[in-house]
């Protein structure tokens, strides 16, 4: 058993540098040389405004509701609790998405 572990350790030590050197040989541009970067006008067209923020808010509200229903005992469920948890999830997710689109 010790020989098997030692053999696997030696193989991993030999193969890791080979895979790292093979990864460094790849080109810097992931889609090839013929692909040009987008201009500022083209970037403004594809950014999509606040669609990402709205989608994140909806997802956060759904997740907040799910979390409330899963973590709260059924006898303690209230509409106010569900609403607050959904609002908290929506604001957290939308705020995070908004900050992510700014930086």
User: Could you tell me the pLDDT band of residue 26, with boundaries at 50, 70 and 90?
Assistant: low
- Nearest-angstrom CA–CA distance, 56 and 58: 5
**Contact of 90 with 64, CB cutoff 8 Å:** yes
Tell me what pLDDT residue 1 has. 74
As a whole number of angstroms, the distance between CA 13 and CA 7 comes to: 10
pLDDT in tens, 42-101: 766 665 667 888 899 999 999 999 999 999 999 999 999 999 999 999 999 999 988 887
């Amino acid at each position: 058993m010790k020989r098997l572990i030692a053999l696997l350790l030696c193989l991993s030590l030999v193969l890791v540098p080979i895979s790292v050197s093979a990864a460094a040989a790849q080109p810097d541009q992931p889609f090839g040389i013929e692909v040009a970067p987008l201009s500022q006008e083209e970037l403004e067209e594809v950014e999509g405004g606040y669609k990402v923020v709205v989608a994140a808010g909806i997802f956060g509200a759904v997740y907040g509701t799910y979390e409330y229903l899963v973590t709260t005992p059924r006898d303690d469920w209230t509409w106010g609790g569900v609403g607050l948890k959904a609002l908290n999830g929506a604001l957290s997710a939308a705020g995070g998405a908004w900050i992510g689109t700014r930086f």
